[in-house]
Structure 1
Amino acid sequence: MMGVFEELKARGLIAQMTDEEKIRDLLDHHKIAFYIGFDPTADSLHVGHFVQIMVMAHMQRAGHTPIALFGGGTGMIGDPSGKTDMRKMLTREEIDHNIECFRNQMGRLVDFSDGKAIMANNADWLMNLNYIQFMRDIGVHFSVNRMLAAECYKQRLERGLTFFEMNYMIMQGYDFYELNRRYDCMMELGGDDQWSNIIGGVELIRKKSAKEVYGMTFGLLTTSEGKKMGKTEKGAVWLDPNKTSPFDFYQYWRNIGDQDVEKCLKFLTFLPLDEIHELTNVETGEQINHAKEVLAYEVTKLIHGEEEAKKAQAGAQALFGAGADTEHMPKAEIKDSDFVDGSASLLDLLLKVKFIPSKSEGRRLIQQGGLTVNDQKITDVAYELSVKNFAGGSVIVKKGKKKYLKLILA
């Protein structure tokens, strides 16, 4: 049976390691505590966090103990990695609320019962530090020259990097030190953009405690063109069903590029590798579309549960002519008061229910032949819907090739 190190490597998840031979031995022949940090900068995890949670789940299944570290302290600063500007500063209340949201979402993939995983909050040791003492004990071990050479800081120097943000690497390193001291945490994991921060923690523990600990990063979720995945015209793809509906979540994965299906199946599902190879080693568009449907169903099931995944699947099948009903299609309600003398502008209605971002965008869609109502292509930008159009209870609007909405007159 494949060990967890080989499993992660075969799935293409591993990017960089501090010591491959020792990490392989630790993961395949020992049981360790490891941690991944999550800064609560929003009230929901998003697709960018998905890979990190999957790695935690793989490691836990192999018998290791995950520590999910919530950045109640570091979130007060914000990680400058990958950012061109300083992050918005959040209040303590906003951070605490976001952490609670993260806890609930993460529990779908990581088992926190009976000590099988640990939730920690770095506010417990960061918020009451004495700054002078902290700098004497910890800051002295960090070289400013080396910090400025790190990629996470280097890309910010032209736009301006505050001393406030410079402290982030020191605090993240101190997190690893504290988790090692409290829980014998032997490894920090994170996205590949965290490599410099992880190295800082590994070296701090070596200098302060004379212990060998390890760091490993995994690849970021990017398309075959190198662009980060998880963005749509509506913004980020969230794991919270109130921010990104299970149907939209399903459709996001159903519509990814053909070249990205295999990577996403490896990164974001627990399907066996030989099954993934069979799904993706295909020649026809119909076969790759089947692989996309499997991907969409599996990831939606992991995040939203089997029932919601089945609903999303049924809704998608209805849209693409598989013979299912339209019960689970995305819906929006309009009212009699939206009509004047029994009619209303189609663009006004679609703007009201946020199916289009603006009237100008709606006009462009119509002019380019990209908007239909009940399979009828709309060519008039002044097109009006009548109350009589809703005699059957609803109207189906289609935008482009893959965006549908069921308008219901309430």
Structure 2
Amino acid sequence: MHTQSHDLLHLLEERGFIHQGTDQDGLRAKLAAGPVTAYLGFDATADSLHVGHLQGLMLMRWLKQAGHKPLLLIGGATTRIGDPSFRDTSRPVLDEASIQANILGIKSAFERYLGADVPLVDNADWLDGLGYLDFLSQVGRHFSVNRMLTFDAIRTRLEHSLSFLEFGYTLLQAHDFTELARRHGCTLQIGGADQWANIINGVDLGRRQGLELFGLTMPLLATADGRKMGKSASGAVWLNADRLAPFDFWQFWRNCDDRDVGRFLALFTELPMDEVRRLGALEGAELNEAKIILATEATRLAHGSDAAQSARSGAASLFGQGALNEDIPTLQLAPARHAAGVTLAELAVEAGLAASRSEARRLAAGGGLRLDGQAVADAEQTLPSGAGQWQLSAGRKRHARIVVEG
């Protein structure tokens, strides 16, 4: 797929990627004039990205397909500090070995979405050797503390405790932008809406140093039921297969809220917008086919075509093709009750799979009660320990999803 540069901002707006920009008219002209190097940055706080990061990766894919040059910045240095933006508490400080291990895990996700040819840069390359007095002279003198205190990301932390270490984070990110401009010709920074203050500080610092820089932010995503994107009832939805199996990744998208289908198809697949609108407008049972397409396309991008088809086939085999195209009732189980021990017979009754516990026991005795596709010999056994989700089935056509939040 190739996207013409002069259409790129329109395409990104249409698909829901853009929240605000520092100078969109200027950026539009810049994109039309030739290849633009754009960067997306992540601190190395975990050894995998999750679907909350996926919006940025997809935006960078569209940039690359339009002939522009993505650049990915890992905060090997700033991870030691932590971005305070819209956080109530400080983030735990990681040791160097953990940071390096996390960088390797994050790199694998970058390469799956953007290719191994996309440069990955670590800000430790320039921040580790930067003296404090040099930093104050080159960067600090350009910033007004009075103005910084007006930023929402800083002001909300003042109600709690904000260390000088964290307060300086926005200056370091601004310095990153100007260093990337000088070293790599990078003129565009991409980030979430919570990064707006950090981005405009970088653009402003660049202006004071004679650099023309631009910033684009993406809307902060939440699911229709108000849950933060990147989380499910059973934990983070990781992009790396060693953290979350492709089958479970596929199931996350298949089980999304009906109200999210059209939006997610636009953001997390590369289907043409005409097809996105058609699928998003489906209703009732037909909308489930759109969810299957969403799940398969999103899994293909994350794990490859073979893994996507295997996940789809596995779901059809486990639940039956008919169940795959139906919304499966979900029973939320409180962690305290789960820890106390709840039997499959109780769950079968609560999920409407059996009229009574005795009926559930008879189902199990006849081989008709299954947990994740495996026959249950004793309906009085308890649900396995730990957070997660399971499929409880009575016969071949009746299913329920049991979810225990972490």
TM-score by length of 1: 0.82
CA, structure 1 residues 389+154, in 2 after alignment: closer, same or farther (shift >3 Å)? same
Query: Are the equivalent residues in 1 in contact too, given 2:38–2:69 (CA < 8 A)?
Result: yes
Aligned to 1:403: 401
1:16, distance to aligned residue in structure 2 (A)? 0.6
Partner of 1:333: none
Provide the rounded CA distance (Å) in 2 between the counterparts of 1:378 and 1:315: 30
Residue 76 of structure 1 deviates from its aligned partner by: 0.8
State the 1:359 CA deviation: 3.4
Match in the other structure for 1:255? 255
AA paired with 1:229? Answer: M
Per-residue CA distance 1:73-132 (angstroms, 9 max, x = gap): 11111111232110010011111111111111111110232xxx2110000011121112
Structure 2 equivalent of residue 265 of structure 1: 265
2:41 counterpart SS class:
strand
* 2:37 paired with 1:33: yes
1:254–1:356 Cα change, 3 Å: farther
> How far apart, in 1, do the equivalents of 2:365 and 2:96 lie?
49
Question: Contact conserved, 2:364 with 2:375, CA < 8 A, in 1?
Answer: no
1:78 counterpart = 2:56: no
Seen in structure 2, the aligned counterparts of structure 1 residues 402 and 364 have a Cα distance that, compared at 3 Å, is closer
Instruction: Please report how far the alpha carbon of residue 228 of structure 1 lies from its aligned counterpart in structure 2 after TM superposition.
Output: 1.8
CA contact (8 A) 1:365 1:371 kept: no
The offset of 1:6, in angstroms, is 1.2
Rate the CA distance shift 1:365–1:388 in 2: closer, same or farther, 3 A. closer
Percent identity between the two aligned chains:
39
Deviates more, 1:222-231 or 1:135-144: 222-231
1:17-41: CA deviations, max 9, x gaps? 1111111122233211111101110
Matches within 5 A, 1:346-365: 358-360=338-340, 362=342
Partner of 1:195: 196
Secondary structure in 2 matching 1:108: helix
Which residue type is aligned with residue 68 of structure 2? Answer: H
* CA deviation after TM superposition for structure 1 residue 199, in Å: 0.4
> Could you tell me how far apart the structure 1 residues matched to 2:290 and 2:363 are?
38
What letter corresponds to residue 275 of structure 1 in structure 2?
A: E
Partner residue of 1:110?
A: 114
Partner of 1:328: none
Check conservation: 2:173, 2:198, Cα contact below 8 A.
Answer: yes
- Are residues 1:292 and 2:272 paired? no
Equivalent residue, structure 2, for 1:330: none
Partner of 2:68: 64
Paired with 1:103 and 1:224, the residues of 2 have a C-alpha distance of 30
Number of the residue aligned with 2:277: 277
The answer as to whether partners of 1:40 and 1:71 remain within 8 angstroms in 2 is yes
Answering whether residue 346 of structure 2 is matched by residue 366 of structure 1, we say yes
Please identify, of 394-403 and 191-200, the stretch whose mean Cα deviation from structure 2 is larger.
394-403
In structure 1, the partner of 2:12 is 8
Report the 3-state secondary structure (helix = DSSP H, G, I; strand = E; otherwise coil) of the residue aligned with 1:311: helix
CA shift in 2, pair 1:47/1:357, >3 Å: farther
Give the unaligned 5+ runs of structure 1. Answer: 326-354, 406-410
Q: Which residue of 1 aligns with 2:164?
A: 163
Q: What is the deviation of 1:221?
A: 2.4
Partner SS, residue 19 of structure 2: strand
- Please state whether the residue corresponding to 2:250 is helix, strand or coil: helix
Alignment of 1:368-407 (within 5 A): 369-370=349-350, 379=357, 394-395=374-375, 398-399=391-392, 402-403=400-401
Q: How far, CA to CA, are the matches of 2:91 and 2:345 in structure 1?
A: 35
Compared CA separation, residues 279 and 324, structure 1 to 2 (3 A)? closer
- Aligned partner of 1:147 in structure 2 is 148
Q: Is the 8 A contact 1:65 1:118 kept in 2?
A: no
Judge conservation of contact 2:269–2:298 (CA < 8 Å) in 1.
yes
- CA shift, 1:12, in A, is 1.3
Q: Deviations over 1:13-66 (max 9, x none)?
A: 111111111111222332111111011100111111111110111000111111
Mean alpha-carbon deviation: is it higher for 308-317 or for 10-19? Answer: 308-317
SS in 2 for 1:222: coil
Q: Matches of residues 85-124 of structure 1 in structure 2 within 5 Å?
A: 85-113=89-117, 117-124=118-125
Hey, what's the Cα distance between the residues in 2 that align with 1:30 and 1:131?
Answer: 37
Q: Partner residue of 1:223?
A: 223
In the alignment, the residues of structure 2 paired with residue 145 and residue 124 of structure 1 have an alpha-carbon distance, to the nearest angstrom, of 30
Q: Which residue type is aligned with residue 398 of structure 1?
A: Q
Q: Do 2:345 and 2:357's aligned partners in 1 also have CA atoms closer than 8 Å? A: no
8 Å CA contact retained: 1:75, 1:95: yes
Question: Deviation of residue 225 (structure 1)?
Answer: 5.1
Structure 2 equivalent of residue 243 of structure 1: 243
What SS does the aligned partner of 2:112 have? coil
Paired residues, what number? 368
- Inter-CA distance 159–379: structure 2 relative to 1 (3 Å threshold): farther
The amino acid of 1:233's aligned partner reads: A
Structure 1 residues 377 and 313, CA gap change in structure 2 (3 angstroms) = farther
Larger displacement relative to structure 2 (39-48 or 211-220)? 211-220
Assess if the C-alpha contact under 8 Å between 1:177 and 1:201 holds in 2.
yes
Q: Retained in 2: the 8 A contact 1:138–1:174?
A: yes
Structure 1 SS opposite 2:20:
strand
| Letter in structure 2 aligned against 1:366 | E
Q: 1:156 to 1:130 in 2, by over 3 A?
A: same
Aligned-residue offset at 1:140: 1.1
Confirm or deny: 8 A CA contact 2:250 2:308 kept in the other structure.
Answer: yes
The letter of the residue matching 1:97 is: A
The answer on 1:316 being equivalent to 2:315 is yes
Equivalent in the alignment of 2:133: 132
SS in 1 for 2:157: coil
For 1:167 and 1:300, locate their aligned partners in 2 and report how far apart those are by CA, in whole Å: 38
CA distance in 1, matches of 2:31, 2:355: 58
Letter in 2 for 1:362: V
How far 1:183 sits from its partner (Å)? 0.9
Q: TM-score, normalised by structure 2?
A: 0.82
Across the aligned residues of Structure 1 and Structure 2, the Cα RMSD in angstroms comes to 3.1
Q: What secondary structure, in the 3-state scheme, does the structure 2 residue paired with 1:149 have?
A: coil
Return the offset for 1:404: 7.5
- 8 Å CA contact retained: 1:314, 1:324: no
Structure 2 residue runs without a partner (length 5+): 325-334, 377-389, 394-398
